[in-house]
């Protein structure tokens, strides 16, 4: 849970290390002088580093700062698409029909923007022929290369061999856009309120 910084008269310390609106270092000044500079500049005095000695405060338009911060947070949420890893298991001597069925599932997952973990399961004597699994994984990677890429190269994992395929960027971007459209249909009321406040300040 985020904590609002202290602003203006809520900053109750005798002196602060003041930073100007453009990031320039003003130096250590009395709180009275810092508040006076803020008022003369029609800006707010915002405590940005309360644990420093003395605390660091910056001159800024706090309403605009909150609005821009909310927009950045929302954009960040849009870009953070939940990574889903699907799993597909194959046998090293899979018959052609089953292979095509499994491949169609992999293609569907990649088209949805999801990653796919491919597991080759070896049994009995098959374990002495890891090249069967490697060749099968290579074939699958080539068959879906127009929509996916090898994110994690084939590697032996106990009795199994695994490989991870990732969707090409355009597929992942498409998934991000779907998430963004979903969020847009349910706008963040707090962000809208901040936008409204910013418009009033600019008026």
**Would the pLDDT of 79 be above 80?**
no
What percent of the chain lies above the pLDDT cut of 90? 64
Q: Virtual CA dihedral for 146, 153, 169, 108, nearest 10 degrees?
A: 60
Burial of 167 (0-12, 13-18, 19+ CB in 10 A): buried
Given a contact cutoff of 8 angstroms between Cβ atoms, the answer to whether 88 and 102 are in contact is yes
Q: What's the 3-state SS for 135-161?
A: HHHHHHHHHCCCCEEEEEEEEEECCEE
Tokens of 65: 């700062």
Q: Which residues contact 174 (CB under 8 A, 6 or more apart)?
A: 113
**Would the pLDDT of 120 be above 50?**
yes
Q: What pLDDT score does 111 carry?
A: 94
Q: What pLDDT score does 142 carry?
A: 96
Q: What pLDDT score does 189 carry?
A: 44
Categorize the per-residue pLDDT at 195 as very low, low, confident or very high, splitting at 50, 70 and 90. very low
pLDDT digits (tens, 9 = 90+) for 57-70: 999 999 998 998 88
C-alpha 59/C-alpha 39 separation (Å) is: 10
Instruction: Please tell me what DSSP assigns to residue 14.
Output: S
Categorize the per-residue pLDDT at 84 as very low, low, confident or very high, splitting at 50, 70 and 90. confident
Q: What pLDDT score does 77 carry?
A: 75
**Domains of the chain, first to last:** 8-63 (3.10.20.80), 85-172 (3.30.110.10)
pLDDT digits (tens, 9 = 90+) for 136-183: 999 999 999 999 999 999 999 889 999 999 999 765 565 666 555 555
């Amino acid at each position: 849970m985020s904590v609002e910084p202290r602003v203006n008269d809520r900053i109750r310390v005798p002196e602060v290390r003041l930073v100007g609106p453009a990031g320039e270092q003003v130096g250590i000044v009395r709180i009275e002088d810092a508040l006076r500079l803020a008022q003369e500049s029609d800006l707010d005095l915002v405590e940005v580093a309360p644990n420093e000695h003395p605390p660091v405060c910056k001159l800024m338009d706090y309403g605009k700062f909150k609005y821009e911060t909310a927009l950045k947070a929302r954009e960040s949420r849009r870009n953070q698409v939940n990574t889903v890893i699907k799993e597909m298991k194959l046998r090293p001597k899979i018959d052609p029909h089953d292979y095509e069925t499994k491949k169609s599932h992999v293609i569907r997952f990649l088209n949805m923007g999801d990653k796919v973990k491919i597991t080759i399961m070896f049994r009995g004597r098959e374990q002495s022929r890891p090249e069967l699994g490697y060749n099968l994984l290579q074939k699958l990677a080539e068959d879906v290369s127009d929509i996916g890429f090898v994110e994690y190269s084939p590697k032996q994992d106990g009795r199994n061999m695994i490989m991870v395929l990732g969707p090409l960027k355009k597929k992942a971007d498409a998934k991000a856009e779907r998430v963004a459209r979903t969020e847009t249909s349910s706008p963040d009321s707090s962000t809208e309120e901040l936008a409204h406040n910013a418009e009033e300040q600019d008026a």
